[in-house]
Structure formats: structure tokens, C-alpha cells
Amino acid sequence: MSDFVVGLTGGIGSGKSTVADLFVEQGATLVDTDAIAHELTGVGGAAMPALVAEFGAAVAAVDGAMDRAAMRQLVFADPSARVRLEGILHPLIRQLSAERCRAAGSPYVILAVPLLVESGTYRERCDRIVVVDCPESLQIERVMARNGMLVDEVKAIMAVQATRQQRLAVANDVVVNDADQAKLHVQVAVLHRKYLMLSAEKVKASC
Ligand code: ADP
């Protein structure tokens, strides 16, 4: 059971998933709220009955997973639909992620939350917050390449996220992702040792 939670966040395209994978390579357990959201809305997902009850059968595809395009259209046409969707998903994500953090067998857990800075609930759960940071121009470049999006589409997403300064203001640690993966690896290895030490200190203090 793990009692030391490191919240991992960063703007879109900053390199959160890449950094999370490197922590897993070091031996950390990853609890990823985005992956949990996909699980809940996938085939046999625990959120699907509530979503169908709320929005109708059209939001489920033939296999029972959420029809993402149909849901996107609903949310686009009716802003209250997003609030209702989040009202169903967010409590389930909070509950499942908390359970998985508690159940983790590693000395510390990486809790990946894209909107960690925007969310008080998740911040409260973290012993430390690590922010993946890079220049905004690089974020835009990476997301355009990864998702085939236009510059304005990426900028629109960034505009509703916390700013780079707001994220850095709550960071205990920062991973600078402005160069190659080798540079990332070194930073993650250093932080891994630090989190092992801090988690061991916490265990000792609670005995
Ligand atoms: P996030 O999870 O924050 O949205 P990702 O980890 O998915 O970001 O990274 C965005 C894209 O940029 C991915 O395609 C990823 O492979 C690439 N990327 C991230 N960091 C680097 C890096 N240091 N060098 C090269 N490509 C990178």
C-alpha cells in the first residue's frame, strides 16, 4: 500500500505521458486519470449505464462504449451537457483513482492529472506536485504533430488550461522538457531517488 502521492501535471503537449512512462520505467506505479476516464467510458465501462440513462442510447456505440463523436456533438450543441457529463464522470474518476493510489504496491505513486492545478481536490491529495514544463511554442508544435491539429485549435485548448506561470507557481518539482528524451531520463531518475527518500521519511514519521 502506497501512502505517498506525487501529482504529475503539465499543459497539453508538455510531455506528461512521456514523463509518466519514464517514472514507470523507474518502478513507480502510475495512476492516470485520463486513462481511467477512457476505461469508465469504454466497453463495459462503469460510467456507461449512467451516461445512457442521462443522455439516451445514442451516446453508446454498438459495442457499448461511449460514442465519442456523438458525445462531442451533444456537448458542442448544449453547454449544460458538459456539466452533466462531468457530473457523472468526475466523482467516478476521483473514487477510482483514490482506490488505485491506496492499492499501489510501490513506495510512491505518480498521479497524472492534466488539470491538477485547476482542481483543488486533486491538489489536496498530493504530497508533492511535479510539473512538466516547456515553452508554449513547443507545446503547440508537438500537439499539431501528434494530433494533426491546426495551430488555432491547439491555442484554443491552451487558453482554457492554467497558464504556464500558474502551473509553475504550484510546482514542488519541475521537469524541463525542452530538449531530447535523454535529458528527460536524467531528470526523472533524480526525482525518482528523491521520491523514494521522501516516501521513506513519511513512513518513518508515521511510525
Ligand atoms: P502530454 O501528455 O503532456 O499531452 P506527450 O507526452 O503526449 O504530452 O507529448 C506530446 C508529443 O510530443 C508526443 O507525441 C511525444 O512523443 C512528443 N514528445 C514529448 N516529449 C518529447 C521530447 N523530449 N522529444 C521529442 N518528442 C517529444
Domain ranges of the chain: 1-28+107-207, 33-105
pLDDT tens-place string over residues 134-192: 999 999 999 999 999 999 999 999 999 999 999 999 999 999 999 999 999 999 999 99
Euclidean distance between the first and final Cα of the chain, in Å? 15
DSSP 57: G
149 Cα to the center of ligand 1, angstroms: 15
Give the residue whose CA is nearest to atom 11 of ligand 1: 142
Confidence check: pLDDT of 2 > 90: no
Q: What is the maximum span of the chain, computed from C-alpha positions, in angstroms?
A: 54
Among 3.40.50.300, 3.30.565.10, 1.10.10.60, 3.90.1150.10, name the CATH number for the domain at 1-28+107-207. Answer: 3.40.50.300
- Give the nearest ligand 1 atom to 184 CA: 23
Task: Work out the angle at residue 120's Cα, subtended by the Cα atoms of residues 116 and 124, and round it to the nearest 5 degrees.
Answer: 90
Task: State pTM to two decimals.
Answer: 0.95
pLDDT at 1 (0 to 100) = 61
Would you state the pLDDT for residue 120?
A: 84
Q: How far is the CA of 21 from the centre of ligand 1 (A)?
A: 11
Atom 9 in ligand 1: which residue has the minimum CA distance?
A: 15
Pocket residues: Cβ below 6 A from ligand 1 = 10, 12-18, 142, 146, 177, 180-181, 184
131, 10 Cβ separation under 8 angstroms: yes
Strand partners, 132: 10, 175
Ligand 1 atom closest to Cα of residue 10: 3
Q: What is the number of residues in the chain?
A: 207
